[in-house]
């Protein structure tokens, strides 16, 4: 029994180990140690890391190129003015001098544009070819080069500046070309000129998205002040990053079906479409929001972005693009319907896994039961049956022993009673024997003794039992007779011995026992 208990214990430990191993492997393979919120957060956090890295890289590169360009343009302006021995203010109303300065800046500006990874580059000088003709006083000279749809060196257009100079460098005017800038509508120009003169690395800024006159899409503008020889700010240079380029450069590789990445230069709780640039999944379609989205905490590090028509679930993070842009907001998000689908999919996966684990547990339990437990239980049942049989046999033996003892005691009692009766009969016979001898006919007694030879072996055996003072019951037990069978033999004995009754037979037997 102890061996079977040990064997059963070993099998149960093995079964438990297999079930635990199956559960651990299932959780590991399915990756369901966390819920849908954490899965969504992990995926979007990874997308945010890529998006933030790309944004930071692009804008830092643009800032570094803008600072270099500011220094380059300062050198060109100072050199041109020194060559002609004039001051910067002498450029006003001098188309010839301004054109010469623009011509010297054209190729460096084009080279900066091609190396910057931006969609446009510009230089705005705080001067004009015809100050008196400017109705609002905001017309300023300069150059603005913009990449066309193919973004190649041969696809550069002249948005602002002298068309003659542009053509001389193989660049043709934009369809909305103008000679000079309208600085009232140019993002960041006034802010750059209004600040106290600072080194370019401390005074550059990125504007919020805006649409330039004659163009059809939003763009973010980097503006860097250009200092003159006297330390005065004489202009602004910088780069344009338009929405088409932003979508192209920041499209994400992702396992998600739909993804929306936003750059919000305002950095507030409310994300307005006019203040954002957006991108989606690489090679896929995405729909940029055309409504204000209000950000709020959702759960597990996630935020909700709610509009009148759509709701998104995602992650938001602030970053610093320049000393003047400390709280720019980055957001990556998916439609809330996709999040709910993930919740349902995870729940279904967990349910299926639990069902499979249950099926595995039942199957392996049945296998162990048939292979190992059933034989053990059978052995236990057989051992138990043997124990019960042994108990019953012992009880039966005990009962038989007790019955035998009772029978022996009864026989002993009967024997004692028979002996007592024999002693009494002997006493009585000794007392009455002389009288009985006188009462019995001697001739009949002699015939009785003579006829004993005529008895059959069975009749002689029965007579011997009577002669031994056995009771009728003892004769029945000894011979295995029925009462009727004994009567039959007694009748034959009476007839052969010439007696008429058992009483007379016993008288003759008594005389024989006493030697008569």
Per-residue pLDDT band for 290 (boundaries 50, 70, 90) equals: confident
Please report which confidence band the pLDDT of residue 9 belongs to, taking 50, 70 and 90 as the band edges: low
What integer is the mean pLDDT of 114-129?
A: 93
Contact by Cβ (8 Å): 281, 256? yes
Cα-Cα end-to-end distance for the chain: 75
- The string of pLDDT tens digits covering residues 219-267 is 999 999 998 877 788 999 999 999 989 998 898 888 888 999 999 988 8
- Using CA atoms, how far apart are residues 312 and 286, in angstroms rounded to an integer? 13
Q: Check pLDDT > 70 for residue 133.
A: no
> Exposure string (b/e) for 348-384, b if CB count within 10 Å is 16 or more?
eeeeebeeeeeeeeeeeeeebeeebbeebeeeeeeee
Task: State how far Cα 2 lies from the chain centre.
Answer: 41
Element (H, E) at 98: helix 95-116
3-state secondary structure of 299: strand
Contact 224, 198 (CB under 8 A): no
Model confidence pLDDT, tens digit, residues 378-401: 777 777 888 888 888 888 888 888
CA distances to 99, 243, 462, 463, 486 from 494, in Å? 176, 146, 12, 10, 12
Distance CA 252, CA 286 (A): 11
Domain 440-513 - what CATH class? mainly alpha
Computed from CA positions of residues 285, 287, 293, 298, in that sequence, does the dihedral angle turn out positive or negative?
A: negative
Give the pLDDT of residue 363: 81
Q: Is the pTM of this model over 0.85?
A: no
- For the residues 163-170, what does the mean pLDDT come to? 94
The CATH homologous superfamily to which domain 59-249 belongs is PAS domain (3.30.450.20)
> Distance (Å, rounded) from C-alpha 188 to C-alpha 124?
11
Closest of 515, 512, 513, 491 to residue 502, by C-alpha: 491
Give the torsion sign (CA, 131, 134, 135, 137). Answer: negative
Say what the pLDDT of residue 350 is.
Answer: 78
pLDDT class for 190, splitting at 50, 70, 90? Answer: confident
Q: Binning pLDDT at 50, 70 and 90, where does residue 33 land?
A: very low
DSSP state of 269: S
Find the mean pLDDT for residues 299-323.
91
DSSP letter, residue 329:
E
Under 8 Å between Cβ of 123 and 109: yes
By CB atoms closer than 10 A (0-12, 13-18, 19+), residue 465 is middle
Q: What share of the chain is helix, strand, coil (3-state, %, to 5)?
A: 60, 20, 25
Closest CA to 302 of 355, 247, 342, 346: 342
Domain ranges of the chain: 59-249, 440-513
Average pLDDT, rounded, for the chain: 83
Return the SS3 of 158: strand
pLDDT digits (tens, 9 = 90+) for 336-360: 999 998 888 878 877 887 788 778 7
The single-letter DSSP state of residue 251 is P
pLDDT confidence of 170, banded at 50, 70, 90? very high
Distance in angstroms (rounded) separating the CA atoms of residues 363 and 42: 36
* Residue 270 Rama label (left phi>0; alpha psi -120 to 50; beta): beta
Consecutive H or E run containing 491: helix 483-497
């Amino acid at each position: 029994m102890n061996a079977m208990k040990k064997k059963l214990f070993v099998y149960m430990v093995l079964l438990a180990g297999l079930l635990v191993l199956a559960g651990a492997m299932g959780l590991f393979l399915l990756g369901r140690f966390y819920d849908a919120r954490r899965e969504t957060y992990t995926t979007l956090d990874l997308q945010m890391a890529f998006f933030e890295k790309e944004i930071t890289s692009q804008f830092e590169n643009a800032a570094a190129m803008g600072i270099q360009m500011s220094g380059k343009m300062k050198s060109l302006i100072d050199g041109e003015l020194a060559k002609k021995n004039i001051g910067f203010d002498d450029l006003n109303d001098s188309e010839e001098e301004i054109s010469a300065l623009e011509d010297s800046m054209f190729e460096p500006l084009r080279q900066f544009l091609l190396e910057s990874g931006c969609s446009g580059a510009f230089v705005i000088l705080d001067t004009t070819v015809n100050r008196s003709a400017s109705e609002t006083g905001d017309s300023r000279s300069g150059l603005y080069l913009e990449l066309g749809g193919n973004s190649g060196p041969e696809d550069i257009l002249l948005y602002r500046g002298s068309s003659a100079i542009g053509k001389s460098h193989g660049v043709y005017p934009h369809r909305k070309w103008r000679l000079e800038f309208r600085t009232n509508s140019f993002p960041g120009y006034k802010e750059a000129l209004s600040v106290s003169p600072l080194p370019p690395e401390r005074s550059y800024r990125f504007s919020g998205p805006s649409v330039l006159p004659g163009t059809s899409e939003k763009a973010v503008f980097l503006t860097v002040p250009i200092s003159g020889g006297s330390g005065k700010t004489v202009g602004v240079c910088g780069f344009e990053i338009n929405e088409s380029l932003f979508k192209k450069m920041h499209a994400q590789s992702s396992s998600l079906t739909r993804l929306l990445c936003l750059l919000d230069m305002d950095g507030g709780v409310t994300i307005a479409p006019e203040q954002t640039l957006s991108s989606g999944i690489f090679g896929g379609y995405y729909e940029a929001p055309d409504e204000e989205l209000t950000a709020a905490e959702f759960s597990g590090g996630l935020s909700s972005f709610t509009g009148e028509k759509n709701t998104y679930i995602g992650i938001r993070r602030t970053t610093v693009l320049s000393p003047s842009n400390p709280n720019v907001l980055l957001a990556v998000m998916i439609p809330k319907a996709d999040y709910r689908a993930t919740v349902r999919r995870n729940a279904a996966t967990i349910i299926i896994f639990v069902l499979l684990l249950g099926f595995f547990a039942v199957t392996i339990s049945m296998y162990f039961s048939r292979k190992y437990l059933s034989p053990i239980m059978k052995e236990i049942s057989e051992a138990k049956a043997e124990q019960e049989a042994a108990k019953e046999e012992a009880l039966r033996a005990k009962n038989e022993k007790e019955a035998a003892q009772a029978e022996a005691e009864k026989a002993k009692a009967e024997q004692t009673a028979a002996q007592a009766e024999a002693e009494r009969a002997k006493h009585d016979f000794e007392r009455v024997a002389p009288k009985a001898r006188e009462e019995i006919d001697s001739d009949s007694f002699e015939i009785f003794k003579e006829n004993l030879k005529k008895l059959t072996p069975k009749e002689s055996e029965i007579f011997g039992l009577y002669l031994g003072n056995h009771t009728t019951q003892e004769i029945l037990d000894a011979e295995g007779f029925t009462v009727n069978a004994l009567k039959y033999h007694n009748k034959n004995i009476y007839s052969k011995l010439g007696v008429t009754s058992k009483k007379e037979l016993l008288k003759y037997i008594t005389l024989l026992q006493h030697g008569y």
